Every structure is written in C-alpha cells, then in structure tokens.
Chains A and B, each alone.
Chain A
Amino acid sequence: MDFGRISRRHLLQGGAALTLGAAVGARPAFAAETTIGFIYVGSRDDYGYNQAHAQGAAALKKIPGLKVVEEEKVPETDAVEKTIESMTNLDGATLLFPTSFGYYNPHMIKMANKYPKLRFEHCGGLWSDKDPKNAGSYFGYIDEAQYISGIVAGYTSKSGKLGFVAAKPIPQVLRNINAFTLGARLANPKATTQVIFTGDWSMPVKEAEATNSLIDQGVDVLTCHVDGPKTMVENAARRGAFVCGYHTNQSPLAPKAYLTGAEWNWEALYPKFVKMIASGESIPNFYRGGLKEEIVKTSPFGEAVSAEARKHADDVKAKFLSAEGYAIFKGGLLDNKGKTVIAAGTDRGQKDPELEKMDYLVEGVIGATS
C-alpha cells in the first residue's frame, strides 16, 4: 500500500468529502483502508498520560472513514516493533502514533527505515535530520501550563514549600519541575519545590509514600509528573494539601483541593494532523507547540485560587498566547548547585532545542537529578 500516492488521493477525496459530508450527513469519507494505529505504554484509562492520548484517538474515531486501532501496555522494548509490524501487516495501518518516549530510538527509527512508505508520528522524541523522513516527532510545551500552575501554587502555599512527585529525571520531567518552580517564584520569590523521584512511571505505593513524606515536610501544594496522577491527587487531598493536576483534568477526584493543572490537548492536535495529510500538506517532522498552538491547556481554576493568583496567572497566559510569545527560561539562570546554566542576556525561547536536553534543576528546587 502506497501511503504517499494512493492513500493520499483517497485522503484528498476524503478531505473534500468531509467538508461536504458534514452537511449532508455521515458517509464514509476516507478510503476504507486508511487505518491509524495508536500504541500506548500503559493502560488507556489511567487518568493520565495514556488517557490523554486515547482521548485524542477517540477524536479521530469520530471522523467518518478513519479506522483507529489501539494497543495498550506495550513495553518500551522490541515489543513495540512487533506491535508496529502487526498493525501494519494485519490491520493495514498507514499512520502510526507510538506515544511513549522510549519507543523512539531505536525501535521506531528502525521501523521507519524498514517501512519507508508509512508515516510515523512519535510523541516526545527529538527528530533530527539524520532520522528517516517518514518519521516525525511532536510534543507540547506543557511546561507553559506547569509554569501557570506554579504561579497559582506560589500564591496558594502558606508555607512556601511546594512538592513535586516525579518519575524519572529525564529532560521533559526536569523541564516541568523547573517551570513549575520558576512560576511559583514569580508569586513568592522564597518558594521552594521539593522533588521526589519514584524511579518509574507507575508506582502507586511509592507515589503515595512520596506524597505523605512531602506533606510531613510542610509541603502544602503538590503536583506531579507520573503516568497516573490519581494516587497523588487523592492522597494529598486526604491530608488537606492542595494539588495541581497533570496530563488530564483531575478536579473530579478532589474538587476542593484542585487548584489548576497542566493538560494535554491531543484531541485538538490529532484531527489537525489528519487534516494536514488530507489536504496534501506534509506534517513537519519536528512539530512543537504550547498553549498558543493548542497542544496544551490549563485546567479551570479551583475555588481555592485567590483573585490575585487568577489575575497574575491569566496575565502570564495572555503573554504565552500573544504573537511575540514568552520565555520561561531566561538568562542569568542558576541551577540548584549555584552554577549558571543560562548566561545572562540569552533568553531560551520555548522552541529552543537546548531546552529539550535539560539536565539540571533550577535554583529553588530541592533535589538532585541522580
């Protein structure tokens, strides 16, 4: 099956039919063979990372003529290659979304080289010119939303001590911790963030222990970067602490304790990708965006958020949405060992690839990356 020629023609027809079909009523608009494969590392309904992607996949299912195949709990090993093989050869998938960080290199790269006519879209990887052209990586600057959460947390915390339950010290996680801390220090220059690494993406007992230990240390606002924030949110709320969510909106779990949260907006991005293919445009191999590009969003404010915090957060959000944008990581930035990590005078804009290699924790974070 030639995705480049035949399917694109079908997709073109489909794209045209979609606009017409929307008015006339549902009629299979895309070619029947247009199948999209989604691969998740965990469970599809984990109230977190994988659920956010599954919501994006669900948005695609609503488009007539598209078939979505999904497989969950695929480990970041050569198991993902087998899944890709079966999705390609058995289900006829022509567009694949391996959504977990560890799938990218070497597994997805290998598959993209083996099947040059398929399209691979990976979440979180760092596509470079050396990688195959039929592969792409997309990711959202969710640190923008974490920065907003940080501002709200900084205003809400009475002790000035914030807590962060993190899985592993990889760049994306460190960037979130740093953005959250920098945001909090806008509101309260003395605020600190205590970080605890649990060692893996889904460790409910460790996450609960980490939450309790942080609260024992006087932390009164917590957030996290693990696959399923439910454990942290519920346990923190039970102890009377406030929380900022992650991945999806967890406010139904703790309506009183939930301040705001950093959420993915894949249900806006994935249909955009499909439309780009349908209209013959190619998806940029390196696709990034934040609040402005509608790849990430913030949860609505909870009732405990003060008017002052709301105003400050909304002001900063407006700057992110503005044409000139807003840099979180600005020059004259020290890490928590006192070393200058960004020299004075250089602003690292959100699209700066240097930020995706982050290996430090900024001043104000209590914790270490190793």
Chain B
Amino acid sequence: MADGSIGFWTVPLAVLGGAIRVSTPFLFVSLGECITERSGRINLGLEGTLVMGAMSAYGISYLSGSPWLGVLAAGITGAMLGALHAGICSLPRVNDIAVGIALMLFGTGLAFYLGKPLIEPTAPRLPAIDFGWWSDIPQVRAALRVNVLFLIGVALAPILYWAFRTTRWGLLIRTAGESSDAARAMGHSVLLIRLRATMVGGFLAGVGGSFLSLFYPGSWNEGLSSGQGITAVALVIFARWDPLLCLWASLAFGGAAALGPALQSVGVTSGYHLFNAAPYILTLAIMIITCSPKRTLTGAPAELSITR
C-alpha cells in the first residue's frame, strides 16, 4: 500500500467503477429502446442517435459553455431522429428494421461530418458527484465519482417499470405493442403512440450519447461509440423488454468492459483478447441459457416485426 497500489483489489474495483462509468450509455439507450419496442416498433437507428447525441452535446457544450445545455441538445437531436424514424415508418409497407439501419448510417455519417471541427477543441464536461468521500484510498474515490446522468438512469429504470404496469400511458404503449387492433378499437392512434414512444426513446439515446462525449471517456472523436448503441439495442432483447432487467444488464456490460484492461493491469496478461471480448461472451452465454427452441421469447411485444 505504501506505493499507492492496491494490488489485485484493482480488479473488483475496476469492475465496479466500470459498471458505473461505462454502463450509462447502455442504460439510456436500452431504456429508450425498451419504450420504443414496447410500443411495437424496433428502432435500430439508436447507434446513430447515440453518436449524433454525443456530437451535438459536445458541440453545444463547447459553444455555449454549459454542459447541461449540451445534454438537452443531445436529447432534442435524439428526439428529432426518433421522429424521423417514426415518420418514415408511418408510411404504408415500410419496414422499421430497414429504416433503422438507414438511420444508423445517416446518424453516424452526419455526426462525423458535422463533428469534424469538434475533435480538437475541449468542451466543458459534466460535473461528478463524489460518493467516495468516506474513503481515503484514492482508487476507491476515483471509482465512486458518479455522474448525475447515471443516477437519473438508475432511477428511471424502476420508474419505467412502474409506469408500464400502472399508468395510463404505460398501458397505451403496451396495447399498441401487443395488439394494434385493440388500441385502434379503443379509439387511439397507434401511429401517434409509436411516434411519441420512438421520440422518447430517441431522446434517451441522445442523452446517453451526451454522457460519452461530456463525461466518460469525455471528448468527441469518431471511434467514441464503437458499437455501444447497437449492443444496447441487443441488450433489450436479452433483458426481455423489462426496464429493471435493462438496468442489471447494462451494469453487467459496463463491468465486463472494464475486466480486460483491469486484468492486464494486475499482470494477468495472457489471453487479453478473450477478456476484452467478455461483454460479448456474456451476451452469448445469457442468450444460450435463456433461449429455448420450444417457445418464443417471453415478454416480446406481439406487434414487433420480428415476432409478428
């Protein structure tokens, strides 16, 4: 301890820190996608939304000097991309998955194009709350420097869980997702419900992107997302469209992403490619354990184009 090292304890601490630091974008994107998919539509474009959110948050934070304005801008950008997706999907015989892929490419391409001048400047970052004040070990303090967005995400998961079950809005979204005929019979516009659900989903994904560029890793560059948006969309499937499970899945993914570098730092150096692949191995393992050839996925909204 004399040299400031905490030895092998780095690994669990890094996994904990990673769960907090890395999971937030996963959490926001998967909660957003959860809302969208519960309404009966898949928005695969959230990878593009995430990257656009990261870029616009960084740009607005840099220009205005206020990172919170950046977060808001990211959310609005995301909601607009969501509205675009929902708008195109409202047209007859449009496949939502194909539109999603197109919007994913559109979003990332547009973000790279508009973000060119933003790579060099340094924008003001979001503040962190120090939850490690009780500890005098610097590593613990560093791991427990938590961003407000993470806390909002953590709070959002049970709120959504509750809202889906007990509120009128939750019921409407679920109705649109389970049986559009029933929703129509009740006198509601399915397209309008899905438009709103996709916009809210996009808003959350955009906010998730702002976390990437404004907090951790904390700057804008083109490799920033490296597929986290698409991973988060997949997370929703294995979280069975349940917001609470989305939270746990995101935390597990964040922790797993930290495992590879942490093990190397304590000298477990062989097979680092394998440890770097930990999040994906985790996905495969959970998929294999929970899948069954005898039944369809439990919890899948009936109106989704993949289950219909």
State the A residues within 8 Å of B (CB): 42-43, 45-47, 73, 159-161, 194-199, 202-210, 212-218, 220, 227-228, 230-231, 234-235, 238-239, 253, 366-368, 370
A47 CB contacts on chain B under 8 angstroms: 119-120, 221
Which of A73, A214, A230 is within 8 Å of B265, CB to CB?
Answer: A214
Contacts of A239 in B (CB 8 A): 142
**Which chain A positions have C-beta within 8 A of B218?**
208, 231, 234-235, 238
* Contact with A204, one of B13, B112, B223, B261 (Cβ below 8 angstroms): B223
Q: Among B4, B112, B122, B262, which residue has its beta carbon within 8 angstroms of that of A209?
A: B262
With beta carbons under 8 angstroms apart, the residue of B3, B228, B262 that contacts A213 is: B262
Flag B242-276 by CB within 8 Å of A: 1 or 0 each. Answer: 00000000000000011011101111011011001
Across the interface, name the chain A residue whose C-beta is closest to B277: A199
Assembled-state Cα–Cα distance A194/B10 (Å): 14
Since A216-B139, A235-B217 are in contact, a sample of 7 more A-B pairs with Cβ atoms closer than 8 Å, ordered by chain A residue number, is: A42-B223, A47-B119, A160-B3, A197-B264, A208-B217, A213-B265, A216-B143
Interface stretch, picked from B14-22, B27-35, B73-81, B178-186, is: B14-22
Which A-B residue pairs are the 6 nearest by beta carbons? A218-B5, A202-B223, A368-B269, A213-B265, A208-B217, A210-B261
A209 to B120, Cβ gap below 8 A?
A: no
Q: How many A-B residue pairs have CB under 8 A?
A: 137
Cβ B10 vs Cβ A216 within 8 A? yes
Structural contact, A209 and B18, CB atoms closer than 8 A: yes
Chain A residues near B219: list those with CB within 8 A.
Answer: 204, 230-231, 234
Flag if A194 contacts B272 (CB, 8 Å): no
Interface SS, B side: helix
User: Which residues of B in the span 85-131 have a Cβ within 8 Å of any Cβ on A?
Assistant: 112, 116, 119-120, 122
Nearest CB of chain B from residue A365's CB, rounded to whole Å: 10
Query: What residues of chain B lie closer than 8 Å to A231, measured between beta carbons?
Result: 217-219, 221
B302 to chain A, nearest CB (A): 36
Can you report 23 residue pairs joining A to B where beta carbons are below 8 Å apart?
A43-B119, A45-B120, A73-B222, A194-B265, A196-B272, A202-B222, A204-B224, A204-B226, A205-B216, A208-B218, A209-B260, A210-B264, A212-B142, A213-B10, A213-B262, A213-B265, A216-B13, A216-B14, A217-B266, A218-B4, A231-B218, A231-B219, A253-B122
**B217 near A205: Cβ-Cβ < 8 Å:** yes
B residues 113-162 in Cβ contact with A at 8 Å: 116, 119-120, 122, 139, 142-143
Chain A residues positioned under 8 Å from B226 (CB to CB): 202-205
**Whole-angstrom CA separation of A216 from B21 in the bound complex:** 15
On whether the beta carbons of B222 and A43 are closer than 8 Å, the reply is yes
The distance from the CB of A243 to the nearest CB of chain B, in whole angstroms, is 14
CA distance A16 to B265 in the complex (A): 57
Within 8 Å CB of B304, what residues of A?
none
- Give chain A nearest CB distance to B111 CB in angstroms: 12
Residues from chain B with Cβ under 8 Å of A160 in the complex: 3
- In the bound complex, residues from chain B placing their C-beta under 8 Å from that of A227 are 223
A73 to B222, CA, bound (A): 10
B221 touches A228 (CB 8 A): yes
Q: Determine if A213 and B223 form an interchain contact, defined as CB atoms under 8 angstroms apart.
A: no
How far does the Cβ of B214 sit from chain A's closest Cβ, in whole Å? 12
Most A Cβ at <10 Å: residue of B119, B139, B218, B265:
B265
In the complex, the chain B residue whose C-beta lies closest to that of A228 is: B221
CB distance from A12 to the nearest CB of B (A): 38
CA gap between A203 and B5 in the complex, in Å: 26
Instruction: Please measure, in the bound complex, the distance between the C-alpha atom of A218 and the C-alpha atom of B265, giving whole angstroms.
Output: 10
State whether the Cβ of B69 lies closer than 8 Å to any Cβ in chain A: no
Residues of A within 8 A of B262 (CB): 209, 213, 216
> Is B6 on the interface with A (CB-CB < 8 A)?
yes
Contacts of B222 in A (CB 8 A): 42-43, 46, 73, 202
Greatest chain B CB density within 10 A among A213, A220, A230 is at A213
Chain B residues within 8 Å of A218, by CB: 3-5
A216 to B221, Cβ gap below 8 A?
no
**A249 vs chain B, min Cβ distance (A):** 12
List B contacts of A203 (CB < 8 A).
223, 226
